[in-house]
């Protein structure tokens, strides 16, 4: 079954509404049932979780405030769980009384696909649900296509290059990718082309071991996943993000000159320390990173992947020695 054979008839599509406010729940239910969707209502997060496991809805519309656990925590439970991966693609809409910048950031960090402000605007709700359903159906089509490819072993290589926890590329793929980019730059230099650059930024989460020791490795994994998401959002469109170690990532950006690389490193630091990370149990942690960077230019002479990474590590050590929560760039003259 491919995208064209997916039946896009509304009466087959399921929406789960989770809200203990009967006025809001009934309004959402009436608004969407008029469009032909199958509506199910739960009044607590735990009941909603059980209904979702049983019915596998296409869209969830949940209140931020629930009587047992917050809708924010419930959203993260859906998006980060390992036991029921099929629920990760469920489009999750959070309803909140206060949709300010900080609250929206917490919601997006938890994995919410959309935030709507109460009281609900029926027209906006319908539009957001339609968007969510399109994405959900596309995700299902891609999952089916991937399943076929897996059967024929066409995805085995690419799956082996992805970090299972954070979803970013893994260390093995980094060795291949950086090596390829360095070869490309060397060929450009040989051909007499203009100077080209390759930026490598090593990111280390400050005091991650303390987080693991104090709150447990499950919380540490949530922190890693959230930071990976923020880093991906802060990187440039041409950047490649890799998981490098237990609490380390590497951002590799082609055609990124020294000053641009420095600006990107600062941008990554700010992306993490600007706001706390919201966790599934309601905990909010202030987390920082240190970044060490090195930039290779095509006119600098031949260099290998190991040497380029060592330069970035040297800069990272300087950032750590400078008090952490900052960035430093490699300077051959220093």
Q: Domain holding 241: CATH number?
A: 3.30.70.270
DSSP 182-210: HHHHHHHHHTTPPP-EEEEEEEEETTHHH
Length of the chain in terms of residues written: 334
Is the model's pLDDT at 198 over the cut of 70? yes
Q: Do 192 and 117 share a structural domain?
A: no
Answer for the pair 238, 255: CB distance below 8 angstroms, yes or no. Answer: yes
Q: Do 212 and 126 share a structural domain?
A: no
Q: Is residue 163 part of a domain?
A: no
Please report the pLDDT score of residue 4 as a whole number: 40
Give the residue from 93, 116, 151 where a domain finishes: 151
Confidence of residue 48 (pLDDT cuts 50, 70, 90): very high
Cα–Cα distance, 249 to 231 (Å, whole number): 9
Give the pLDDT confidence of 122-141 residue by residue, as tens digits: 989 988 888 887 777 766 66
Cα–Cα distance, 268 to 262 (Å, whole number): 10
Is the model's pLDDT at 155 over the cut of 50? no
What one-character DSSP code corresponds to residue 161? T
Confidence of residue 301 (pLDDT cuts 50, 70, 90): confident
Cα–Cα distance, 86 to 70 (Å, whole number): 22
Q: Is residue 160 part of a domain?
A: no
The more confidently predicted of residues 140 and 287 is: 287
E strand or H helix that includes residue 328? strand 327-329
- Burial status of residue 120 (CB atoms within 10 A of its CB: 0-12, 13-18, 19 or more): middle
Please report the pLDDT score of residue 105 as a whole number: 79
Q: Do 220 and 75 share a structural domain?
A: no
Range of the domain at 144: 3-151
Q: Is residue 69 part of a domain?
A: yes
Confidence of residue 144 (pLDDT cuts 50, 70, 90): low
Confidence of residue 156 (pLDDT cuts 50, 70, 90): very low
Nearest in space to 97 (alpha carbons), one of 193, 18, 24: 24
Is the model's pLDDT at 82 over the cut of 90? no
Answer for the pair 106, 70: CB distance below 8 angstroms, yes or no. Answer: no
Confidence of residue 208 (pLDDT cuts 50, 70, 90): very high
Of 102-106, 189-193, 329-333, minimum mean pLDDT range: 189-193
Q: Do 181 and 136 share a structural domain?
A: no
Q: Is residue 156 part of a domain?
A: no
Confidence of residue 80 (pLDDT cuts 50, 70, 90): confident
Q: What is the rounded average pLDDT of the residues 108-132?
A: 86
Is the model's pLDDT at 53 over the cut of 60? yes
Task: Count up the domains in the chain and report the number.
Answer: 2
Is the model's pLDDT at 152 over the cut of 60? no
Please report the pLDDT score of residue 27 as a whole number: 93
Please report the pLDDT score of residue 111 as a whole number: 81
Please report the pLDDT score of residue 9 as a whole number: 43
Q: Do 134 and 231 share a structural domain?
A: no
Confidence of residue 59 (pLDDT cuts 50, 70, 90): very high
Q: Do 113 and 177 share a structural domain?
A: no
Please report the pLDDT score of residue 8 as a whole number: 42
Is the model's pLDDT at 182 over the cut of 50? yes
Q: Is residue 158 part of a domain?
A: no
Is the model's pLDDT at 50 over the cut of 90? yes
Give the residue from 151, 185, 206 where a domain finishes: 151
Q: Do 76 and 207 share a structural domain?
A: no
What's the 3-state SS for 42-74?
Answer: ECCHHHHHHHHHHHCCCEEEEECCCCCCCHHHH
- Burial status of residue 75 (CB atoms within 10 A of its CB: 0-12, 13-18, 19 or more): buried
Share of the chain above pLDDT 90, in %: 47
- Cα separations in angstroms, 65 against 22, 43, 61, 129, 326: 13, 11, 12, 20, 36
Beta bridge partners of 92: 60
Answer for the pair 74, 62: CB distance below 8 angstroms, yes or no. Answer: yes
Answer for the pair 39, 48: CB distance below 8 angstroms, yes or no. Answer: no
The more confidently predicted of residues 334 and 65 is: 65
Q: Do 143 and 175 share a structural domain?
A: no
Q: Is residue 166 part of a domain?
A: no
Q: Do 139 and 200 share a structural domain?
A: no
Q: Is residue 162 part of a domain?
A: no
Q: Do 211 and 300 share a structural domain?
A: yes
As a whole number, the mean pLDDT across the chain is 85
Q: Do 202 and 131 share a structural domain?
A: no
Q: Is residue 74 part of a domain?
A: yes
Beta bridge partners of 162: 169
Confidence of residue 187 (pLDDT cuts 50, 70, 90): confident
Q: Do 189 and 325 share a structural domain?
A: yes
């Amino acid at each position: 079954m491919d995208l064209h054979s997916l039946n896009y008839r509304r009466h087959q599509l399921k929406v789960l509404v989770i809200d203990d406010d009967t006025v809001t729940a009934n309004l959402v239910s009436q608004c969407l049932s008029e469009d032909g969707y199958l509506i199910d209502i739960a009044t607590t997060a735990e009941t909603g979780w059980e209904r979702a496991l049983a019915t596998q809805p296409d869209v969830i519309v949940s209140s931020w405030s629930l009587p047992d656990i917050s809708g924010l925590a419930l959203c993260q439970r859906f998006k980060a769980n390992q036991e029921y991966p099929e629920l990760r693609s469920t489009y999750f809409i959070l309803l909140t009384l206060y949709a300010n910048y900080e609250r929206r950031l917490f919601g997006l960090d938890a994995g919410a696909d959309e935030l709507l402000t109460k009281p609900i605007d029926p027209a906006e709700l319908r539009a957001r649900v339609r968007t969510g359903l399109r994405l959900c159906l596309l995700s299902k089509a891609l999952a089916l296509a991937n399943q076929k490819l897996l059967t024929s072993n066409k995805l085995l290589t690419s799956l082996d290059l992805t970090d299972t926890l954070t979803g970013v590329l893994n260390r093995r793929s980094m060795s291949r990718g950086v090596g390829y980019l360095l070869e490309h730059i060397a060929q450009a230099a040989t051909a007499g082309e203009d100077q080209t650059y390759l930026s490598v930024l090593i990111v280390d989460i400050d005091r991650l071991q303390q987080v693991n020791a104090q709150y447990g490795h499950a919380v540490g994994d949530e922190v890693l996943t959230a930071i990976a998401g923020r880093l991906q959002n802060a990187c440039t469109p041409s950047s490649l993000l890799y998981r490098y170690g237990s609490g380390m990532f590497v951002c590799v950006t082609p055609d990124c000159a020294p000053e641009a690389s420095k600006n990107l490193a600062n941008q990554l630091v700010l992306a993490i320390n600007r706001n706390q990370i919201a966790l599934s149990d309601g905990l909010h942690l202030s987390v920082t990173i240190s970044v060490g960077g090195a930039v290779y230019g095509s006119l600098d002479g031949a260099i290998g992947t190991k040497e380029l990474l060592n330069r970035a590590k040297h800069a990272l050590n300087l950032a750590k020695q400078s008090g952490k929560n900052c960035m430093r760039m490699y300077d051959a003259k220093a």
